[in-house]
């Protein structure tokens, strides 16, 4: 673990970037948009069944970094990722790796609720269908029901599964997107500011949900709200201008930040 | 004074002052818009009014009713109802005899003139009747025959009685005969059974648009079958698959340029490639359709690309995020959402192709073809070319036929556009 590269990044990052039962490991990751360096030498572990939040001011690269984990940055032509990211010690940027099964293992929930313009049922069933996860129609029904239940949406929509997913309220749509993500039984769920477009009540529901899902999945959540980070996550990572400044237990980050920039952000001086 | 910040009171006064000006500007803009729209509607109405008011008479023509004795011996000498036998029969003679019995022409010259009153398609009509219903044999039945085009024009008042005989296309004798027929109530003005079911003909009273209509349908089907898949596939490739680089940029610029190339150029290209190099026959809907497909491709590609670009990226992200492959994203999400736009573009392209004459002239679809094409490799013509040809003919009656054909073409176009609107509405309803 303590090779020279790790030490180099440790010079930058305060706190404990490593995790004992790490599932995802990022080592010296750099991301470029053309000539613009968006992520600068970030090293971090994400543990198994751990909820970790990425915080930091706008434009600090936390979303960009998040999208490295399931290679969503591939869809942007000018984006180049250097360094190594592994899931269960398998390099996801290896040429042999196919992004399709990778994205089935690492699900994603986006900032704006983006259900497909299809029925609620088809939204959730889409992933299992394209990956061939269900043996028959009954099995698919079970997967859809179970996913919706886990996303806390079943009670609200069980009687109208065939109505359009886009007809739900914003909070319901976001939970539908979470149900869609967990329907393919991923190992990790990436959430990119999942509550930024929602009202406080819907936000509270999603937060409860993240709390519960944290028992089964590794969850990485990018958020602008420090309160939210404090409420849902065990660990917190603070990013600033593409650098990972500090990682630590959420409680400690918010009560005793070690780095002066973290402290400045937490106390509202920057951001 | 310039450096002073204005007080809220001053500010609100200034705003009030400027508001009147802004309102006036808004209203003027509204007015211009309304004037422009009402002008457009006005011209459209005038256009439609003039076309329909002048053209509808093209669907009607004058008929004469004659008593025909269906004598099997004379009409069908061999008795087997074959085309040969009917051709050898004396159907025309029977019609003439029936006509002469009414108008009583005296002398060879008068008889010769009188024969021309009834359209030369009389024997074909009798042959058709007995083929459809052999039980007519042995009876005497009233049959309607089209009148010759000059007589038709005379009855419509285009050829005037007052004109001196030497300058008139029909003689005094003929007018006398027609008056006689009229007195007996044998002349009627009815919906033409030639205009919709007849084909090209040198006799205007028998000319119809069926051949051109079928030719148009065949040509358009070929055009659609080639241009739609090719155009949509190109658009998808350029938008979703191809990397943005110099080559794709070059292709893009050229597609946009192609959309502005005069259509006759496509015709020359079709002549050079399909006919000269590949040796395909002239005048066939297959070649016509291929030429029109080349012409409509840019339209379809451009509108399909716009439709694909309008698919929200969030839907793509969602699909990629769940592990859909590129092909799945394209076929499950992008195409269904872009389909209304693609269809609209395609139908606009088809409507353009339907009205196109110039490129088809180049590949010989302007030929005079009497037979209705049965397949895409039978020689044929299309509606706009038929209109173009009829407009060129000297006979007075072709003017009405041309107008009628224009109405049919317009109806075709309007129903295609209606279909586009319907499809868009219907597909969009799938959220």
Q: How far is CA B120 from the centre of its chain?
A: 27
Q: What is the pLDDT of residues B41-92, one digit of tens each?
A: 999 999 989 888 888 888 999 999 999 888 888 888 888 888 888 888 888 8
Q: Is the pLDDT of residue A8 over 70?
A: no
Q: Which residues of B touch A107 (CB under 8 A)?
A: 321-322
Work out how many CB contacts closer than 8 A connect A with B: 68
A90-91 and A243-249 as β-strands: parallel, antiparallel, unpaired? Answer: unpaired
Q: Is residue B3 part of a domain?
A: no
Q: Is the pLDDT of residue A270 over 80?
A: no
Q: State the average pLDDT over residues A145-155.
A: 90
Q: Say which of B244, B321, B337 has its CB closest to residue A72.
A: B321
Q: What is the pLDDT of residues A64-77, one digit of tens each?
A: 999 999 999 888 88
A183, A149 Cβ separation under 8 angstroms: no
Are both B333 and B237 inside the same structural domain?
A: yes
3-state secondary structure of B175: helix
A160 contact partners, CB below 8 Å, separation of at least 6: A120
Q: Is residue B50 part of a domain?
A: yes
DSSP string, B285-349: HHHHHHHHHHHHHHHHHHHHHHHHHTS-HHHHHHHHHTT--HHHIIIIIIHHHHHHHHHHHHHHH
Nearest CA in chain B to A165: B431
Summary mean pLDDT of chain A: 88
- Using the Cβ of B429 and the Cβ atoms of chain A, whether some distance falls under 8 Å is answered with no
Instruction: Supply the pLDDT for residue A129.
Output: 92
CB contact under 8 A, B323 and A184: yes
Instruction: Supply the pLDDT for residue B384.
Output: 93
Q: Which residues of A touch B430 (CB under 8 A)?
A: 117
Instruction: Supply the pLDDT for residue B430.
Output: 57
Q: What is the pLDDT of residues A182-226, one digit of tens each?
A: 999 899 999 999 988 888 888 898 899 898 889 989 999 999 888
% of chain A surpassing 90 pLDDT = 44
A224 contact partners, CB below 8 Å, separation of at least 6: A55, A58, A193, A196
CB contact under 8 A, A70 and B332: no
A53, A236 Cβ separation under 8 angstroms: yes
Q: Say which of A166, A167, A181 has its CB closest to residue B322.
A: A181
Give the residue from B143, B176, B197 where a domain finishes: B197
Are both B284 and B375 inside the same structural domain?
A: yes
Angle between the N-to-C axes of helices A170-182 and A200-213, in degrees from 0 to 180, rounded to the nearest 10: 20
Q: Which residues of B touch A114 (CB under 8 A)?
A: 312, 314-315, 317-318
Q: What is the pLDDT of residues B250-288, one digit of tens each?
A: 999 999 999 889 999 999 999 999 999 999 988 899 999
Q: Which residues of A touch B317 (CB under 8 A)?
A: 72, 75, 110, 114
E runs forming strands in chain A: 14-15, 22-33, 36-47, 51-55, 79-87, 90-91, 106-109, 188-192, 218-222, 235-240, 243-249
Are both B83 and B12 inside the same structural domain?
A: no
Residue A46's beta-bridge partner residues?
A24
CA distances from B373 to B200, B213, B338, B365, B378 (A): 12, 10, 36, 12, 5
Q: What is the pLDDT of residues A238-263, one digit of tens each?
A: 998 888 999 999 998 888 888 888 88
Are both B387 and B262 inside the same structural domain?
A: yes
| Alpha-helical regions (H) of A49-196 | 62-68, 99-105, 120-131, 137-150, 154-157, 170-182
Nearest CA in chain B to A110: B318
Q: Is residue B67 part of a domain?
A: yes
Are both B37 and B118 inside the same structural domain?
A: no
ipTM of the complex: 0.87
Q: Is residue B372 part of a domain?
A: yes
Residue B16's domain spans which residues? 8-56
Query: In which residue ranges of chain B is pLDDT below 50?
Result: none
B200 contact partners, CB below 8 Å, separation of at least 6: B207, B208, B211, B212, B368, B369, B370, B381, B386, B389
Question: Whole-model pTM?
Answer: 0.81
Q: Which residues of B touch A102 (CB under 8 A)?
A: 323
CA distance A118 to chain B (A): 7
Cα(B314)–Cα(B319) distance, rounded to whole angstroms? 9
Are both B21 and B109 inside the same structural domain?
A: no
Q: State the average pLDDT over residues A11-35.
A: 85
Are both B286 and B183 inside the same structural domain?
A: no
Q: How many CA atoms lie within 13 A of A133 on its CB side?
A: 23
CA distance B237 to chain A (A): 15
B223 contact partners, CB below 8 Å, separation of at least 6: B288, B289, B290, B292, B293, B296, B350, B353
Are both B223 and B165 inside the same structural domain?
A: no
Are both B162 and B289 inside the same structural domain?
A: no
Q: Is the pLDDT of residue A126 over 70?
A: yes
Q: Is residue B1 part of a domain?
A: no
CB contact under 8 A, A115 and B322: no
Instruction: Supply the pLDDT for residue A59.
Output: 84
Give the residue from B20, B38, B56 where a domain finishes: B56
Interface mutation target, options B249, B316, B322, chain A, most CBs of A under 10 Å: B322
Are both B65 and B85 inside the same structural domain?
A: yes
Instruction: Supply the pLDDT for residue B91.
Output: 86
Cα(B420)–Cα(B346) distance, rounded to whole angstroms? 9
Which stretch of DSSP H or E encloses residue B267?
Answer: helix B263-270
Q: Which residues of B touch A116 (CB under 8 A)?
A: 315, 318-319, 333
Interface of B with A in 320-339 (CB under 8 A): 320-325, 328, 332-333, 337
Q: Is residue B203 part of a domain?
A: no
User: Would you tell me how many other CB atoms lie within 10 Å of the CB of residue B47?
Assistant: 11
Instruction: Supply the pLDDT for residue B429.
Output: 58
Q: Tell me the backbone φ, ψ of residue B384, rounded to 5 degrees.
A: -65, -35
Tokens, residue B352: 């353009």
Are both B235 and B282 inside the same structural domain?
A: yes
User: Would you tell me how many other CB atoms lie within 10 Å of the CB of residue B137?
Assistant: 15
Which strand ranges, in their side-by-side order, compose the sheet holding A106-109? A14-15, A243-249, A235-240, A51-55, A218-222, A188-192, A106-109
Which stretch of DSSP H or E encloses residue B62?
Answer: strand B60-69
Instruction: Supply the pLDDT for residue A163.
Output: 92
Are both B137 and B114 inside the same structural domain?
A: yes
- Tally of domains within chain B: 3
Pick the CATH number of A4-111+193-266 from 3.40.50.10140, 3.40.50.300, 3.20.20.70, 3.90.550.10: 3.40.50.300
Q: Is residue B375 part of a domain?
A: yes
Per-residue confidence at A1, pLDDT binned at 50, 70, 90?
very low
CA distances from B33 to A179, B40, B46, B107, B301 (A): 50, 11, 20, 72, 31
- Using the Cβ of A136 and the Cβ atoms of chain B, whether some distance falls under 8 Å is answered with no
Interface of A with B in 62-121 (CB under 8 A): 70, 72, 75, 77, 99-104, 107-108, 110, 112, 114-118
């Amino acid at each position: 673990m303590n090779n020279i590269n790790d030490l180099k990044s440790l010079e930058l990052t305060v706190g404990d970037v490593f995790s004992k039962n790490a599932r995802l490991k990022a080592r010296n990751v750099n991301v470029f948009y053309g000539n613009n360096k968006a992520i600068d030498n970030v090293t971090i572990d994400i543990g198994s069944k751990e909820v970790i939040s990425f915080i930091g001011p706008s434009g600090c690269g936390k979303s960009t970094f998040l999208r490295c984990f399931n290679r969503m940055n591939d869809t942007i032509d000018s984006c180049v990722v250097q360094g190594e990211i592994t899931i269960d010690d398998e390099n996801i940027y290896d040429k042999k790796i196919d992004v399709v099964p990778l994205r089935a293992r690492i699900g994603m929930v986006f900032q704006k609720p983006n259900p497909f313009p299809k029925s609620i049922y088809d939204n959730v069933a889409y992933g299992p269908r394209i990956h061939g996860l269900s043996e028959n129609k009954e099995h698919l029904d079970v997967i859809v029901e179970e996913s919706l239940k886990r996303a806390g949406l079943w009670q609200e929509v069980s009687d109208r599964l065939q109505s359009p997913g886009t007809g739900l309220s914003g909070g319901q749509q976001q939970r539908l997107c979470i149900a869609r993500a967990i329907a393919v039984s991923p190992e990790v769920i990436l959430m990119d500011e999942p509550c930024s477009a929602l009202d406080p009540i819907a936000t509270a529901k999603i937060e409860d949900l993240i709390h519960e899902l944290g028992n089964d999945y590794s969850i990485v959540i990018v958020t602008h709200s420090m309160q939210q980070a404090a409420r849902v996550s065990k660990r917190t990572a603070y990013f600033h201008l593409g650098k990972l400044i500090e990682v630590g237990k959420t409680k400690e980050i918010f009560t005793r930040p070690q780095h002066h920039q973290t402290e400045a952000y937490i106390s509202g001086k920057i951001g | 004074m310039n450096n002073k910040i204005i007080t809220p009171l001053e500010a609100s006064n200034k705003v009030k002052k400027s508001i009147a000006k802004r309102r006036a500007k808004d209203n003027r803009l509204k007015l211009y818009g309304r004037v422009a729209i009402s002008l457009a509607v006005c011209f459209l109405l005038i256009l439609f009014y003039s076309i329909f008011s002048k053209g509808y008479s093209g669907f009607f023509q004058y008929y004469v009713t004659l008593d025909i004795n269906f004598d099997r011996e004379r009409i069908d000498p061999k008795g087997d109802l074959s085309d040969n036998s009917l051709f050898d029969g004396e159907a025309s003679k029977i019609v003439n005899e029936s006509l002469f019995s009414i108008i009583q022409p005296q002398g060879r010259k008068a008889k010769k003139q009188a024969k021309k009153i009834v359209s030369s398609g009389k024997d074909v009509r009798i042959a058709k009747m007995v083929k459809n219903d052999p039980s007519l044999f042995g009876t005497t039945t009233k049959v309607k025959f089209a009148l010759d085009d000059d007589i038709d024009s005379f009855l419509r008042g285009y050829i005037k009685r007052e004109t001196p005989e030497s300058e008139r296309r029909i003689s005094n004798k003929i007018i006398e005969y027609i008056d006689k027929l009229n007195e007996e109530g044998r002349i009627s003005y009815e919906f033409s059974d030639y205009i919709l079911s007849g084909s090209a003909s040198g006799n205007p009273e028998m000319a119809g648009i069926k051949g051109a209509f079928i030719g148009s349908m065949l040509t358009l089907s070929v055009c659609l079958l080639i241009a739609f898949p090719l155009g949509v596939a190109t658009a998808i490739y350029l938008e979703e698959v191809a990397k943005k680089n110099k080559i794709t940029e070059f292709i893009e610029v050229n597609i946009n340029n192609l959309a502005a190339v005069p259509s006759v150029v496509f015709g020359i290209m079709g002549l050079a490639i399909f006919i000269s190099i590949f040796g395909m026959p002239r005048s066939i809907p297959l070649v016509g359709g291929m030429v029109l497909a080349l012409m409509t491709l840019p339209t379809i590609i451009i509108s399909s690309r716009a439709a694909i670009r309008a698919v929200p990226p969030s839907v793509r992200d969602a699909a990629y995020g769940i592990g859909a492959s590129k092909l799945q994203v394209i076929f499950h999400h992008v195409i269904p959402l872009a389909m209304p736009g693609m269809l609209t573009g395609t139908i606009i392209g088809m409507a353009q192709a339907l009205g196109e004459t110039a490129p088809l002239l180049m590949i010989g679809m302007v030929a005079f073809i009497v037979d209705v094409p049965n397949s895409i490799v039978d020689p044929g013509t299309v509606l706009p070319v038929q209109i173009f040809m009829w407009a060129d003919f000297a006979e007075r009656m072709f003017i009405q036929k041309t107008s009628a054909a224009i109405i049919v073409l317009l109806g075709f176009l309007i129903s295609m556009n209606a279909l586009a609107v319907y499809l868009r509405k219907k597909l969009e309803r799938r959220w």
